[in-house]
Chain A
Amino acid sequence: MEIEIISFGKIAEFMANRRLTVDGIETTAQLKDLLEKEFPALADIKYKLAVNKTIIQETAELKSGDIVAFMPPFSGG
C-alpha cells in the first residue's frame, strides 16, 4: 500500500516528505520501526505522529492513502 510521509522541524532536515510503497506494514508502530531503521536519527527524537491530520497517542492501523506526519517536540511561543 501507499503511505504519504510528511515531516516537520528537525525531522524534516534528514527525512524529506515522500510517498512510500510498503508491504507488510499495517500499523504506525511498524512504520516507525521501518523509518527508524532507515533514519537512525529519528530514533533519538521524542516525536509525535498524526494520521490524516489527527494527532494519535497510541498505535493506529494504517490504510493505503494515509498521510502520516512526523512531528518533533513543539516549540511555539
Chain B
Amino acid sequence: MNEKKIKNIFVSGPITPAFIADSIAKHSAKTDIGGHSIFMGQVRKDELNGKFVAAIEYTTFEEIALAKMHEIREAIFEKYPLNCMHVHHSLGTIKAGEICLFVFTSSAHRKPAIDACTEIVERLKAELPIWGKELFEDETHQWKENK
C-alpha cells in the first residue's frame, strides 16, 4: 500500500481516545495483519521553578511538514513490510494529560510494526517543522525542546 497522495496528518485539538479506539477497530477487517504497534504522545505536566505546564500549543509550517512526512512515509514503506501506517499530530492547544501524537503501524508479524513505529516517531520529532509552546498555569510560557 504505497500512498502517492500527500496525507494530512494534522488534527485541530487533542486526539481523543475514541478516535484511537475507532482507528484500531477499523483494522479487524484486515485479516492479513498479525501485529500492530502504537505510539501515543501525551502532554506532560512538567515543572519549572514551581510552575506547571498546563498545556502545549502546537504550530507548524504545514506545507513543509506534510511534504516531509510524505517522504518519511514512502521511506518506511520501502524499508518495512507494513500493511498500513497512520500518523496523526495535534495542532492548537493540548492540555496536560491529553494525547497530541498517534502513530499506528500494522504488519503480518510484530517486528516490522514495532521497528517502523519507533523509526517514524524518531524521524517525525527530528525532521518535521512543528513547534510546541509550553503554557504554564500563570500564563507565562517557554518553547519546548525535544530531548
Contacts and interface: CB of A to CB of B under 8 A. Distances in A.
Closest 7 A-B residue pairs measured CB to CB? Answer: A76-B130, A9-B131, A75-B144, A77-B125, A75-B132, A10-B143, A75-B146
Nearest to A53: B63
B61 A69 contact: yes
Contacts of A9: 59, 131, 133, 143
B89 A77 contact: yes
B131 A77 contact: no
B128 A74 contact: yes
Interface of A: 8-10, 48, 50, 53-55, 69, 71-77
Given A9-B59, A53-B63, A55-B64, A72 B143 contact: yes
Contact of B41 (A8, A55, A77): A77
B63 A74 contact: no
Interface string B53-73: 000001111011101100000
Interface string B107-147: 00000000000000100111111111100000000011110
Interface residues of B, number: 28
Contacts of A48: 129
12 contacts: A8-B129, A9-B131, A48-B129, A55-B64, A71-B129, A72-B143, A74-B127, A74-B128, A75-B146, A76-B129, A77-B41, A77-B124
A77 B131 CA distance: 9
